[in-house]
């Protein structure tokens, strides 16, 4: 056979063999890497799902060590550290990530956002604020950064800045932040009221109503301002509007409302309003208020009769306690001793009870807060309805 | 497995040396621009080695270019919608 022909036919055969060998070698090498990575990743994930965060951190640290380009792994680790309260480690990790050369802009801004959250968690609010401001200026993750900034300003009680950033957030996301902004104006109005700047307080309240026309807190603050100015009849109207706006806040509104009724000598109007309330509101507060009104006007007997009738329809520990207090003077001897024990018992029962609960996070409170101390959402703390509470 | 591969490699090297020694007579090649005179065995082995290297290089280049393309595509996607952990 011609030697050249043999050579020419050998070259493509060798080519195919070389190509096949290279592919086999490459596939084996990348396969080994992928399987090592994915098995570690799934092991870490498994630990996370089993709430074994210590072991998950160990696995992810190892993963990040031999695969230094895995930014997501670093971010996941940072999150884990922060959630475990190891904020200093989370900060170091995110700082290292931010300073890493060759990181894409998108990843760098994610790392900056995470670093800001670390600073917030560590209480370094000034550093967090600077970072979030930079992110907003860069228009990177601006909605998240704005939300964090609003949280910082709320914490610092810098309501003007909180309003400014909430408005920017509204424009950016299209979400309605008006109820939150109305609360900020109410905070400003309350502060002005406490400092005696009544005109300023009224101006803030007007702006709160502009944001949310049915803002209960703004109605209540208006009522309080009017009441302090001696305009009790107008205060009554404001308090009644507050109840019309959100009936759930009745236990909070009734005491100042009853005071304004009494000072403006409109007790007949009070009776009509409370009777209407009893029909609409299923708590015990209007019943107790009306019983008190009957006691003042018609005497103890009328109040006891009214309370007894109402308690059959809506059993309540608070109502029972009021009934015991009302009947205590009429009882003597052994029955009185028994009633005293019963009164102490009901008092202790009420003392241990949370009267309010956040409708968003379930936080229980004995007193009313406009902002939930746990989840920081506004106007979500409401009276608990039940035998032992409202 | 590794020992078997080493033995096979040694056998092929020995066969190559024997093959080269047995076909030591020179053959002339006219490449158009130059004329070469090579031993027959060396020409055969050279053809096999060149073909094998070319095949390996082609496969390696193909894989690396594909990976480069994928990385560029990924970084573009990251810029558009950054990953939120």
B48 touching A (Cβ < 8 Å): yes
Distance between CA atoms of residues A378 and A380, nearest Å:
6
> Is the CB of residue A87 less than 8 Å from the CB of residue A81?
yes
Q: Show me where the domains of chain B are located.
A: 40-77
Q: Is A372 annotated as a binding residue?
A: yes
Residue A215 annotated as lining a ligand binding site: no
Which residue of chain A is at minimal alpha-carbon distance from B28? A4
The verdict on a CB contact (< 8 Å) between A23 and B43 is no
User: Does residue A8 form part of some domain?
Assistant: no
- pLDDT of amino acid A299: 82
Does residue A279 sit in the same domain as residue A346? yes
B1 vs A386: CA distance, rounded Å: 77
CATH value at residue A379: 2.20.28
H/E element, A8: helix A3-49
Q: Which domain-ending residue is among A265, A285, A305?
A: A265
Distance between CA atoms of A16 and B82, rounded to whole angstroms? Answer: 42
Question: How close does chain A come to B11, measured CA to CA in Å?
Answer: 18
Give A350's Cβ-side CA count (13 Å radius): 17
For residue range A319-347, list pLDDT tens digits in order.
Answer: 787 888 777 777 777 878 887 888 888 88
Mean pLDDT for chain A overall:
84
Among A24, A8, A34, A31, CA closest to B59: A24
pLDDT tens-digit readout, A30-53: 656 666 666 777 777 777 667 777
Distances (CA, A) of A59 to A47, A65, A75, A84, A114: 9, 10, 14, 16, 21
Residue B69 near residue A32, CB atoms below 8 Å: no
Among B43, B48, B58, select the one facing A14 at the smallest CB separation.
B48
Contact between A99 and A135 under an 8 Å Cβ cutoff? The reply is: no
CATH number of the domain enclosing A222 = 1.25.40.10
- Quick one: A369 and A347 in the same domain? no
Q: What share of chain B is helix, strand, coil (3-state, %, to 5)?
A: 75, 10, 15
Given A265, A294, A320, the domain boundary residue is: A265
Rounded to 5 degrees, what angle do the CA atoms B32, B35, B41 make? 120
Q: Report the interhelical angle of A53-66 vs A71-83 (nearest 10°).
A: 150
| DSSP E strands, chain A | 356-358, 364-365, 381-383
Dist CA A127 CA A135 (whole Å): 13
CB contact under 8 A, A114 and B85: yes
pLDDT number for residue A234: 92
Name the percent of chain B lying above pLDDT 70. 88
Please answer yes or no on whether B44 and A104 come within 8 Å at the CB atom.
no
- Domain assignment present for A329: yes
DSSP output for A61-76: HHHHHH-TT-HHHHHH
Task: State how many domains chain A has.
Answer: 3
The CATH number of the domain holding residue A312 is 1.25.40
pLDDT digit string (tens) for chain A, length 390 residues: 577 777 778 888 888 988 888 888 776 766 566 666 667 777 777 776 677 777 777 777 776 655 556 778 778 888 888 888 888 888 888 887 787 777 788 888 888 999 999 999 898 999 999 999 999 998 888 899 999 999 999 999 999 999 999 999 999 888 899 999 999 999 999 999 999 999 999 999 999 999 999 999 999 999 999 999 999 989 999 999 999 898 888 888 988 998 998 888 888 888 888 888 888 887 888 888 888 888 888 887 888 888 888 888 888 888 787 888 777 777 777 878 887 888 888 888 778 777 888 988 989 888 889 999 999 899 899 888 766 666
Is the CB of A75 inside 8 Å of chain B's CB atoms?
yes
- Does the CB of A3 have a partner CB in chain B at under 8 Å? yes
CA distance B67 to chain A (A): 12
Which of B29, B32, B46, B51 is the best substitution to test chain A (most A C-beta atoms within 10 A)? B51
Give A41→chain B minimum CA distance, Å.
15
Which among A223, A173, A163, A167 has a CA at the least distance from the CA of A193?
Answer: A223
Assigned domain for A6 exists: no
Asked if residue A246 and residue A281 are part of one domain, the reply reads no
DSSP state of A373: T
Give domain status of residue A195, yes or no.
yes
DSSP A385: P
A186 within domain boundaries: yes
Picking from A317, A386, A319, the residue whose alpha carbon sits closest to that of residue A351 is A317
Q: Is A276 on the interface with B (CB under 8 A)?
A: no
A98 neighbors A109 (Cβ within 8 angstroms):
no
H or E stretch at B26 = strand B26-30
Tell me how crowded residue A331 is: count the other CB atoms within 10 A of its CB.
14
Are A278 and A345 in a shared domain? Answer: yes
Contact B63 A23 (CB under 8 A): yes
Same-domain pairing of A256 and A327: no
Closest CA relative to residue A100, chosen from A88, A86, A87, A115: A115
User: Residue A322 falls within a domain, yes or no?
Assistant: yes
Q: Give the domain range for residue A190.
A: 176-265
Both tokens of residue A274?
Answer: 């409370």
Tell me how close the Cα of B44 comes to any Cα of chain A, in angstroms.
6
CA dist A310 and A316 (Å) reads 10
Token digits of residue A91: 């900060």
A313: contact with B, CB 8 A cutoff: no
Question: Which token pair is B78?
Answer: 């990251």
Query: Is residue A133 a known part of a binding site?
Result: no
Residues of B in contact with A140 (CB under 8 A): 82
Q: Are the C-beta atoms of A282 and A389 separated by less than 8 Å?
A: no
């Amino acid at each position: 056979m011609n030697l050249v022909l043999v050579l020419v036919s050998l070259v493509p055969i060798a080519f195919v063999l070389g190509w096949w060998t290279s592919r086999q070698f490459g596939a084996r090498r990348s396969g080994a890497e992928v399987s090592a990575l994915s098995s570690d990743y799934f092991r870490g994930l498994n630990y996370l799902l089993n709430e074994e965060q210590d072991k998950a951190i160990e696995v992810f640290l190892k993963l990040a060590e031999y695969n230094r380009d895995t930014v997501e792994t670093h971010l996941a680790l940072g999150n884990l550290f922060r959630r475990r309260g190891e904020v200093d480690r989370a900060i170091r990790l995110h700082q290292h990530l931010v300073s890493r050369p060759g990181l894409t802009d998108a990843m760098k801004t994610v790392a900056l956002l995470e670093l800001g959250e670390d600073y917030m968690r560590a209480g370094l609010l000034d550093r967090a604020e600077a970072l979030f401001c930079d992110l907003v200026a860069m228009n990177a993750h601006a909605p998240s950064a704005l939300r964090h900034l609003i949280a910082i300003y709320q914490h610092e009680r810098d309501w003007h800045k909180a309003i400014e950033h909430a408005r920017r957030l509204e424009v950016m996301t299209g979400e309605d932040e008006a109820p939150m902004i109305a609360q900020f104006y109410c905070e400003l109005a309350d502060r002005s009221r406490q400092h005696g700047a009544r005109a300023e307080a009224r101006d803030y309240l007007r702006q709160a109503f502009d944001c949310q026309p049915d803002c209960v807190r703004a109605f209540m603050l208006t009522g309080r301002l009017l009441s302090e100015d001696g305009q009790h009849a107008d205060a009554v109207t404001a308090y009644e509007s507050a109840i019309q706006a959100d009936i759930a806040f009745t236990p909070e509104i009734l005491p100042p409302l009853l005071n304004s009724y009494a000072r403006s000598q409109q007790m007949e109007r009070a009776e009509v309003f409370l009777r209407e309330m009893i029909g609409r509101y299923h708590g015990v507060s209007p019943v107790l208020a009306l019983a008190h009104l009957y006691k003042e006007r018609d005497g103890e007997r009328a109040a006891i009769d009214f309370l007894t009738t109402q308690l059959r329809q809506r059993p309540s520990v608070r109502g029972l306690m009021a009934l015991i207090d009302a009947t205590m003077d009429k009882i003597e001897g052994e029955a009185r001793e028994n009633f005293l024990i019963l009164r102490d018992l009901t008092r202790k029962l009420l003392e241990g009870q949370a009267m309010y609960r956040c409708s968003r996070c379930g936080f229980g409170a004995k007193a009313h807060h406009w902002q939930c101390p746990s989840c920081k959402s506004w106007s979500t703390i409401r009276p608990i309805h039940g035998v032992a509470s409202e | 497995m590794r020992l078997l591969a080493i033995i096979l490699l040694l056998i092929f090297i020995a066969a190559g040396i024997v093959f080269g020694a047995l076909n030591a007579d020179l053959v002339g090649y006219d490449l158009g621009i130059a004329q070469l005179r090579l031993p027959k065995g060396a020409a055969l082995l050279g053809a096999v080695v060149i073909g094998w290297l070319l095949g390996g290089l082609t496969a390696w280049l193909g894989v690396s270019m594909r990976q480069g393309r994928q990385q560029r595509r990924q970084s573009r996607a990251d810029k558009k919608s950054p990953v939120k952990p």
